Structure 1
């Protein structure tokens, strides 16, 4: 197995571990803190962006493996058709084993990339469904006056992974821009007052009679 397919296999194992961690039954308070952290963590947001790029490369590998499987299937079909029509054997014993080995590796790579992509969709959908369930459970507990919903951050404003963190970063950037703009306005106002004082002082000098 080549290096990139080994990395794809490790990613598949990591996805299975994450999926098992998501479906593990936990108390409501623990789950709320966990998903709030996932929604607001900037590290998770950057990791999610990197994973999107990674899945694009895995999709390219999946398409390439499908193409390889298709070409090997055509090669085997052509050899089998030639043998059935009484022609010369296109593939010998060793050559046929080599083609069968290429077929096996191509199918293995196709299944590996395909299951990795499929599990990524399942993970995303599972996360969204668990988050919706937590929101509904939090609303029910709030209506019932359950103290477990107090003293923690609400999940109502939590969106996709890292969305809250991105909004916080944008808000901080807006605050910095406003602070810089305020300093510029104050500087321009001070300069305007200084020029106004100079003009007022010049106008107050009496002119000499001609």
Structure 2
């Protein structure tokens, strides 16, 4: 694996770790402090700016890997055509192994860049949704009178607006359901990447055994 794809792999691992940290259950006050720091920190803002540039280059790598997969697939199809016509030697031995290896490397790079970009979108959406859920929880606490700064007069005023309170509860439940769906998508993404890694390891072992022969 080349240096830049190794860096992409490291970024993917960092995204997976960050996503798991976002899903860790924390007290509401602690979570609010953490997300307030992230939203207001100038260092985090600069980091997000550079990460956008990084993901732009990863997008270029993804498009390049798609192009490579397409070209290798054409070579595989051409090799099979030669085999059908009787030139079976053209697809045997080291040439066939090289074409298959190039095909696998191209697909691996495509999946690696694609999963990294997809997980970045999930992280961004999860972060925004958590902020929205926290704002809704603040409003809900204020309407229900659970906030320490809520006065008794405000409780009486809210008592005349049951429809607004029910709408806030419904909206909060919807956001929580969306977060659960994102968590399921991330688990499927991790499972798919694990299967791809196992396939890559098996291909490497198969290639070494053939060379040993």
Both structures adopt the same fold (TM-score exceeding 0.5): yes
Matched, 1:4 2:4: yes
TM superposition shift of 1:94: 0.5
Counterpart CA distance in 1 for 2:42 and 2:93 is: 57
Matched residue of 1:105: which SS? helix
Counterpart CA distance in 1 for 2:126 and 2:149 is: 23
Q: Which residue of 1 aligns with 2:73?
A: 73
Cα deviations by residue, 1:168-203 (Å, 9 ceiling, x for unpaired): xxxxxxxxxxxxxxxxxxxxxxxxxxxxxxxxxxxx
**Structure holding more helix per residue:** 2
Higher relative CO (Cα under 8 Å, sequence separation at least 6) belongs to: 1
Counterpart CA distance in 1 for 2:7 and 2:125 is: 23
Contact 2:83 2:91 in 1 (8 A): no
Kindly name which structure, 1 or 2, has the bigger radius of gyration based on alpha carbons: 1
TM superposition shift of 1:88: 5.8
Matched, 1:93 2:110: no
Matched, 1:20 2:20: yes
Counterpart CA distance in 1 for 2:9 and 2:149 is: 40
Q: Pairwise mapping of residues 124-135 of structure 1 onto structure 2 (< 5 A)?
A: 124-135=124-135
Residue ranges of structure 1 left out of the alignment (5+ in a row): 151-210
* Alignment RMSD (CA, Å): 1.5
Residue ranges of structure 2 left out of the alignment (5+ in a row): 151-213
TM superposition shift of 1:104: 0.9
TM superposition shift of 1:18: 0.6
Q: Which residue of 2 aligns with 1:36?
A: 36
- Gap change, CA 1:149 and 1:54, over 3 Å in 2: farther
Counterpart CA distance in 1 for 2:34 and 2:131 is: 11
User: Structure 2 length normalisation: TM-score?
Assistant: 0.67
TM superposition shift of 1:149: 7.3
Counterpart CA distance in 2 for 1:99 and 1:87 is: 16
Q: Pairwise mapping of residues 46-57 of structure 1 onto structure 2 (< 5 A)?
A: 46-57=46-57
Contact 1:79 1:90 in 2 (8 A): yes
Counterpart CA distance in 2 for 1:121 and 1:39 is: 18
- Number of equivalenced pairs: 150
